[in-house]
Structure 1
Amino acid sequence: MTAAVLLLCLLFPSTLHARLVHPGEDGFSECNDFFHQGSPPQGFSHPDNAKICQRYQGDKHYATLYSTQHKIPVYSAFTYQEDAGGAWESWMVEPQVDDSKSSLDEVSKGSDVTEKVPGLGTKQALEEDYASTDYQPGLLYHKASPALTSSVPLMPDFKEKWATDVDQLVKEKFLPHCENGENLHLLAGAVPSDTKINDKVSVPEYVWLAACCSAPDTWSLGVIKRTGDVEGLEQVSVEELENQLSGDVKLFAGQCGGGAVHPELRSTSEASTQTEEEPPVQTPGAFVRFFQFIFSVVYEVIKSVLCLVWFLLKQVFNVILGRLCWIWTAVTTYVFALSKVLLNIPYDVLRVFGNILCGFVRVLDNALSVVCLILRLPTRFLCDMASFPYYTICAIPDVGMDILSGVWGVFMLGFSTVFGAFGGSFSVASFAGSSVFQRFIGQSEGYEN
């Protein structure tokens, strides 16, 4: 089932969203439903805090106020769901925390978006920030999807115990006194300490959980667990929890029924407090106290020596491992570069021979072109000389015809000349005889009449 859900997530990435809520939007925008009366906690207005609305497979999952200064969440808000949580197989990051203008509005693996988001990890914790440390990323609420923006650095035993404590509180104390899970609003948060892993991610001083039920009765309850005490768990009212966080903090709108604690929860809390505060007291004797003092001194000395030895061993191991990694990286880089150069040598040699061969071909082509140019002129002349008799013999009939045509033309011209001269003489003689004859017979009309 998990593999099928993961496959669907990979095929349809648009169903995985973790959107950064911008300042212009009201509260946590579409994730306001996770808060009591749709109102987020007040008193956490820090310029380095970013609002994130986490969605999974089209459903809203939870809302987170993330501290980009300490690289841990200030708090995350949930409504109880039995099947809450994601099917992701690895820790996810939110690209928009480091780049608010990024179009990547989906949670992603850090290795998949390193090149797409410049400066990834500047404002949020990454999985590699936990490397070479004893800490592990731990969810504030164990049913949340595994996003690093809703996780804090925890020791493995504390991480497991915190998840068990929260699960028992919700199932054995909160749900029996609340009508259904939709009416149970949960806030889980962390308060940073001065300790940081890899000088980046703050280790929490303590983690806390606040519950608010709106039906059938309105009640609230707070829980504090300090990271130095794995077994300890302190149940307080929401007002006391707010005072621990800061005097200006208001976790629930209207104090969730005025901050009232359910009677049965109050009695359970008081009973556990009385049990813790009133153990049977036995006053030890002087010898026992001296023996306890000596034992405590020896224990602390041995503990300090062992811690020092362990610290030195870890430092030596880290130095040796770091050097080995550096040598391995240098050797692999050198071998890769050398292999690349050696593999390029045959290619370069073949390319040089190819260029030389192409050069010879070009020279030969140019030489042949010159020879053809030189041989072209005498070849054409010889061809013309060879074809001269042919054209001469073939031209004789045409020349003869032209000569005959010329002779015939001359003859016709002489004939026309003689005939014209004879005709003209005859016309003149005829005209002269006609005039003489008319005068002889006495005709008086002139030539014009």
Structure 2
Amino acid sequence: MTPSFQKRWYMNLHSLMDRALTPQCGGGDELYILTGAVPSDLRVRGRVSVPEFVWLAACCAVPGGGWAMGFVQHPRDAEVIEDVMVKELEKLLPYNPQLFQNNCGETEQDTEKMKKILEVVNQVQEEERMVQSKGSARGTRSALLPPEPAGERSSLLGKLLGFIATPLIKLCQLIYCLAIGVLKYVVYFLWFVTKQVIHGIESSLYRLGSATISYFLTIGEELASIPWKVLKVVVRITRAILRILCCLLKVVCRVLGIPVRVLVDVATFPVYTIGAVPIVCRDIAVGLGGIISLLFDTAFGTMGGLFQAIFTVCKWIGYKMTFDNPGEL
């Protein structure tokens, strides 16, 4: 495929899509396009196959207004775009493939839209022929016109312009050198700052990575030591259980080593204790009665002694009064 034919086919594809196919298919939402080329037996340098023709198949699957068409263009007659039905295009292709399912609704195709598409295709071909004819006419006209002679320049004007332009050029060169120098140092400074920032970021990332690795190593060590710690705990629990069993065994042995009399006394101790409760209660009651009797005796004795003392005092007072007044008697 020559570059000119390839370019023309590319332009034709865009023209067909933009002006003919898409407008007649509801904006192109349900438009399906297949393109390709059929190789021929002619090869360039025995390697690249020259296409026999290029083709395009279009299917518009709009319900109630769909259509399907095919277009073929040959390199030997690049100005003509042939329109064919999809079935005919399938017969032209190798192995007769089926391009669209159910031939894109062949029984419900809108012929009016197909006619409009063909009209636009013919219009595109006419415009292309007119453009090519105008281009060839311009090329012929430019080839027939003679070249214009170049005018001579004045040496004095050239010197004057050179005298005026030289300082400006030097000044521009100086400004350019200064700008380049400043820009260079700015770039160096930015590069230095960038290196420092990158170095700081690298060191931070390195420290972060080291801390992360240390953290995970510590966690790994702790996780690895968990079975050993569990084993140690199990051993300690086992030792404690064995000690408890030993203590129980010692207690049993000592209990079995106590004389039978002591065991009988220990067993009969609650019976004797319960039997002694009434006696103890009786003794407590007798003791309480004695205490109450003693209190009564003490009270009555105290009152009797008090009355005796009062009687004695009164008797003594009466006797003394009788002794002091004997004449009255």
Normalising by structure 1, what TM-score?
0.25
When Rg is computed on C-alpha atoms for both structures, the one with the higher figure is 2
More helix by percentage: 2
More strand by percentage: 1
Normalising by structure 2, what TM-score?
0.34
